[in-house]
Amino acid sequence: MKIICIGRNYIAHINELGNARESHPVVFIKPDTAVLKGSDFYIPEFSNAVDYEVELLLKISKGGKYIQKENAHKHYEQIGIGIDFTARDLQNSLKERGLPWEIAKSFDGAAAIGNFFPKEEFDLTHLNFSLKKNAVLVQQGNTQQMIFSFDEIISYISQYFTLRIGDIIFTGTPVGVGKVAENDSLQAYIEDIKALDIRIF
């Protein structure tokens, strides 16, 4: 499986990092070795500034290429929540030099994945999600705030990458990203359901 991530999909988050709004989704990949499921997150020794980014996830249930926006909803049955861990110091230094920032986003453990739920259980067009750090609310988003919808994302990325069953899409983070420290705990929620619980070491 592969993980496909969307960057810069929420205006307020684009502004907090001083990035530009793009006319197409910003796309990057994480390998399957980045998956962190049911275990703790260890801050890697190569970074002094690992940020959390809470994001809604889509799990691909039907493969495809050149998927039309109108058909995109047939390609996922479940939604979930995850954290796109980012070595922000590394990413900023690579970005400044115009280099690919793969290692800042795709290192081992950088894709924390929580529980998935049938998409019918939610109103996907007005879906709330949030992240608490040490029991304090730090990020809160709603799918209404997305620049590119789930279906637009699937349609766009499937022009470049064949989607296969089991692939996971990270759909972008809302405002409020911040650094993790040793002994932090992170809990992510879809509406009121806790779907991810991680300790930082």
* Residue 130 binds Zn ion, judged by CB under 5 A: no
**Alpha-carbon gap, residue 115 to 197, rounded angstroms:** 10
Number of residues that bind Zn ion (CB under 5 A): 3
* Residue 173 binds Zn ion, judged by CB under 5 A: yes
Identity at 53, one-letter amino acid code:
E
Alpha-carbon dihedral angle through residues 128, 129, 133, 139, given to the nearest 10 degrees: -70
**Alpha-carbon gap, residue 28 to 9, rounded angstroms:** 13
**Alpha-carbon gap, residue 103 to 125, rounded angstroms:** 33
**Alpha-carbon gap, residue 93 to 98, rounded angstroms:** 9
* Residue 51 binds Zn ion, judged by CB under 5 A: no
In the complex, what is the shortest distance from the CB of residue 170 to Zn ion, in angstroms, rounded to a whole number? 6
Nearest to 16 by CA among 27, 8, 25: 8
* Residue 9 binds Zn ion, judged by CB under 5 A: no
In the complex, what is the shortest distance from the CB of residue 71 to Zn ion, in angstroms, rounded to a whole number? 26
Name residues contacting Zn ion, limited to 63-102 (CB under 5 A): 84
Determine the number of helices (DSSP H) and then strands (DSSP E) in the chain.
Answer: 4, 14
Q: Which stretch binds Zn ion (CB under 5 A): 13-21, 53-61, 112-120, 190-198?
A: 53-61
Q: Which stretch binds Zn ion (CB under 5 A): 38-46, 49-57, 87-95, 193-201?
A: 49-57
In the complex, what is the shortest distance from the CB of residue 33 to Zn ion, in angstroms, rounded to a whole number? 18
* Residue 53 binds Zn ion, judged by CB under 5 A: yes
List residues binding Zn ion (CB under 5 A): 53, 84, 173
